Structure 1
Amino acid sequence: MALQSLHIRRLRVPRKTTAVTSGRQRAQSFLIVATLLYRASHLAVGVLAVVRRPTDQPLPYVGIVLALALSGLTYGAALRRGRFDARHIWADVVVTGCVLPLALIAWGGVSTPPALGWAMLLGGSASAAAAIALDRLHAVTVVALLLLSHFIGYQAVGASSAVIAGHLNSLVSSAVMTWVFRWYLLRQGSLLDEANARALAAEAHKARYAERLEHHRALHDTVLATLTTLAAGSVDANAPEVRARCAREAAYLRRLIQQTADEVQHREIGTALEEAVGSVEGLQLRVTAQYHRLPQVPPAVAAALGDAVREALNNVRRHAGTGHAYLTATADPDGRGGALVTVVDRGPGFDPENCTPGLGLRGSVHARMAEVGGRATVDSAPGEGVRVELRWPG
């Protein structure tokens, strides 16, 4: 007979995701925004200069449009990627910083320093971006190219020595100050990352210590207490209740030894399942449990899985008639970061078509899983036992 399944509709739970970036990444993003604002101020001056000085020469209009387009490409890509593309920087430097001023003098009808000033300003923001995006040698090369082309340009329009010296000084200063800011911010970002790494390591050490302490207390209250009592000779080691207790504690030790490092770090689900197993073992139900690569789940999900497993094991104790259940918990094989837990017994089973799920199965298994966005299914057939599968997300 084909196995039948009882399904509960999944309730969707909204989730929030938070992007985590390093200190160096945040510093780099800040530098991109800062140089973008610097370039925006120069572009604003350029647009106003071109609009306020009508001319029959089309080149100034073409030049400001080209500068806007290159700026959009350079800084738009940098904002998306979190870093500058060196090819965009070189294109901006050559076209906007070097070629545009000389082209305006040669073919754009520009013959005075004030008329050329807006194009020269763009060289300052070009040198600043180069100091961030390029290595030291290439950044120095960019500054040298800008100095040479701007010196030639201002000489061609008859600028005074003071104007030339002041402008060339601003080109160098923009690059130097930006490079200093970059060095300082990236250094602070690295120090912040190192401090965060130390804090995480300390928290992990603290968590491992707390885990060991919890295990020590559990062993003290269970296995050690039993061994101490047996060594004192105050009880009959062959008494059925003593042997049953020893079997339960041996099973607990076996599961403890089988835990992996991942399960220790993300133990919420393991703790909930262990509590469920312990509660039914005290009622004379033997549970063979296997845990493998337990995933990290929210506390509410771990609690729901533990409660659902407890009810499923209670059903085995009440109805299966075997006194033995099998529990398996692992990461979701679909690779979605979820959990898959199964409870199986080898009892007489039942026919799902002729059996209505009881209150415990509906309220303690299906409903609990649905409330946290999971799903429970029950497979059974006469003579084939019962398999309860708990999956999160559903």
Structure 2
Amino acid sequence: MVLATALYRGSHLVAGVVNVSQHQRDRPIQWLLLGTAIASTALVCTAARRRGRVTRRAVGLDALVVGCLLPFGAYAWGGAREPETIAWTMLLGGSASALAAVAFGVRGTAIAVALLVSTHLVGYLLVHADAAVTATHLNALVFSAVVARVLAWYLCRQGARLDAANHRALTAEAQRARYAERITHYSALHDTVLATLTAIARGGVDANTAVMRQRCAREAAYLRRLVEHTDGETPDSDIRAALEESVRAAEALGLRVTARYHEPPAVPGDIALIVAQAATEALNNVRCHAGTDHAYLTATGDAGRLVVTVVDRGRGFDAGDLTGGLGLDRSVHTRMRAIGGLASVDAAPGEGVRVELRWPS
């Protein structure tokens, strides 16, 4: 509507420039009045561009100055005594009426149009315009507001319908994501917990062996994470699923991982994959170098950023030296930089290691 009304006003200004340059070029006051109309239009458009909509104050000032006072200025000081010489100032009233219909409510629009019709009627009576010309112009004033009002209403209604359709689509996509995640968990439960319980129930394995106890501990940790992630949470499926794969891979190699997911933001699938790969390397570093069998992984959101931390309470190392087979520089920092993220390492001998992954940086 901002663009439509600006183009409508532009057509009227072009007509004004043509009229003044052809018939009243020797009257400086006419050029001054035309400049006033251009300045008022620029004010309305600048305010609309700044706020994303036409503003009532700017439109009200435009309706008063351009729509109501300009014709009387042309008559009183510009020497416009005939309908042809005052017509270009009257023409601007149509776009002022349309602007008012977009900016104001029904009551405000009715008041603005009534004021414009009254002043323009007086203006045409002053120059003794033909009744048919006057009636045609007043009709254009009224229907400029009606057309603008109807068009604004239609666009708002279509926008509301589009918003509703987008909401339904997003809701359906969220439901599909939750369903896909549930199926993934069901498959994982079938291949892990259910398989372990079935083997124990059939007596095929000794539940008291160290290997079986470790396996049961890993699967209990997985069940705990699954229970903590309720269906009511917003699906952050890509990053959560990718990190869960990293955790399960580390657990399969004998590392105990306590994982917590505190509403991490949704991220694109390729970003989730790279972050999970960096987290996998951090977990591998714990398993191979930390001197402990327990790590802590946390995924959360911080001001719209994804933040993943991997912490251990192992032997630690000098944070100034990331060489010697730790793999953090190549596998973690490089991966995160490639996707516009950031990896930081906080470590000290005897105090463990904290690796933080942020996306975006």
* Common fold: TM-score over 0.5: yes
Q: Which residue of 2 aligns with 1:231?
A: 201
In structure 2, C-alpha distance between the alignment counterparts of 1:170 and 1:236, rounded to whole Å: 93
C-alpha separation in 1, matches of 2:139 and 2:19:
23
Letter in structure 2 aligned against 1:325: A
CA distance in 1, matches of 2:196, 2:103: 68
User: Could you state the TM-score of these two structures normalised by the residue count of structure 2?
Assistant: 0.91
Query: CA contact under 8 A between 1:260 and 1:293: conserved in structure 2?
Result: no
Contact 1:263–1:294 at 8 Å: present in 2 too?
no
Q: Does 1:158 align with 2:125?
A: no
- Out of 265, 270, 294, which is 2:235 matched to? 265
Query: Residue 66 of structure 1 corresponds to which residue in structure 2?
Result: 36
Instruction: Measure, in 2, the Cα distance between the counterparts of 1:351 and 1:359.
Output: 12
Q: Which SS does the other structure have where 2:219 is aligned?
A: helix
> Structure 1 residues 237 and 382 mapped into 2: Cα distance closer, same or farther (>3 Å)?
same
1:168 shift after superposition: 1.4
In the other structure, the counterpart of 1:392 is 359
Question: Normalised by the size of structure 1, how large is the TM-score?
Answer: 0.84
CA distance in 1, matches of 2:321, 2:26: 92
Note the 1:1-394 alignment, pairs <5 A.
31-54=1-24, 57-259=27-229, 265-332=235-302, 335=303, 337-351=304-318, 356-358=323-325, 360-394=327-361
Query: Take 1:274 and 1:135, find their aligned partners in 2: how far apart are those partners?
Result: 54
Aligned residues: 361
| Equivalent residues of 2:289, 2:326 under 8 A apart | no
Unaligned stretches of 5+ in structure 2? none
With 121-130 and 172-181 compared, the bigger mean Cα shift is at 172-181
8 Å Cα contact 2:344-2:356 kept in structure 1: yes
1:77-106 deviations in whole A, cap 9, x for unaligned? 123322221122221112111111122222
Shift of 1:277: 1.6
Aligned residue type for 1:249: E
Tell me the distance in 1 between the aligned counterparts of 2:87 and 2:42: 21
One-letter identity of the residue aligned with 1:193: D
Measured at CA, do residues 357 and 297 of structure 1 come closer, stay the same or move farther in structure 2, by a change above 3 Å? farther
Q: Out of 271-280 and 35-44, give the one that drifted further.
A: 271-280
Partners of 2:78 and 2:350 in 1: how far apart? Answer: 94
Q: CA deviation at 1:354?
A: 7.4
CA gap of 1:379–1:172, structure 2 versus 1, over 3 A, is: closer
Residues 58, 249 of structure 1: CA spacing in aligned structure 2 closer, same or farther, 3 A cutoff?
same
SS of residue matched to 2:192: helix
Counting aligned pairs with the same residue, the percent is: 56
Alignment partners' CA distance in 1, 2:317 and 2:126: 98
Offset of residue 320 of structure 1:
2.9
8 Å CA contact 1:266–1:294 kept in 2: the answer is yes
Report the 3-state secondary structure (helix = DSSP H, G, I; strand = E; otherwise coil) of the residue aligned with 1:330. Answer: strand
RMSD over equivalenced CA pairs, Å: 2.3
For CA contacts below 8 A with separation 6 or more, give which structure has more relative contact order.
1
**SS of equivalent to 1:83:** coil
Between the aligned partners of 1:352 and 1:283, the Cα distance in structure 2 is 26
SS in structure 1 at match of 2:264? coil
Cα pair 2:322 2:329 within 8 Å, conserved:
no
CA shift digits 1:328-352 (9 cap, x unpaired): 33334xx3x2233333333333345
Which residue identity does 1:376 align to in structure 2? A
Do 1:262 and 1:293's aligned partners in 2 also have CA atoms closer than 8 Å?
no
Superposed displacement of residue 57, structure 1: 4.5
- What SS does the corresponding residue of 1:329 show, helix, strand or coil? strand
Q: Deviations over 1:123-168 (max 9, x none)?
A: 1111111111111122122222222211111111121112112111
Q: Distance in 1 between matches of 2:135 and 2:313?
A: 92
Paired letter, 2:314: G
State the SS of the aligned residue for 1:111. coil
Structure 1: runs of 5+ lacking an equivalent: 1-30
Label 1:357 to 1:53 Cα distance change in 2 as closer, same or farther (>3 A).
farther
Q: What is the distance in 2 between the residues matched to 1:355 and 1:111?
A: 88
Give me the whole-angstrom Cα distance separating, in 2, the residues matched to 1:382 and 1:168. 87
- Compared with structure 1, are the counterparts of its residues 198 and 156 closer, same or farther at alpha carbon in structure 2 (3 Å cutoff)? same
Range with bigger deviation, 258-267 or 230-239: 258-267
Asked if structure 1 preserves the Cα contact closer than 8 Å seen for 2:322 and 2:328, the reply is no
Query: What is the alpha-carbon distance in structure 2 between the residues aligned to residue 154 and residue 35 of structure 1?
Result: 25
Does structure 2 conserve the Cα–Cα contact (< 8 Å) formed by 1:341 and 1:390? Answer: yes
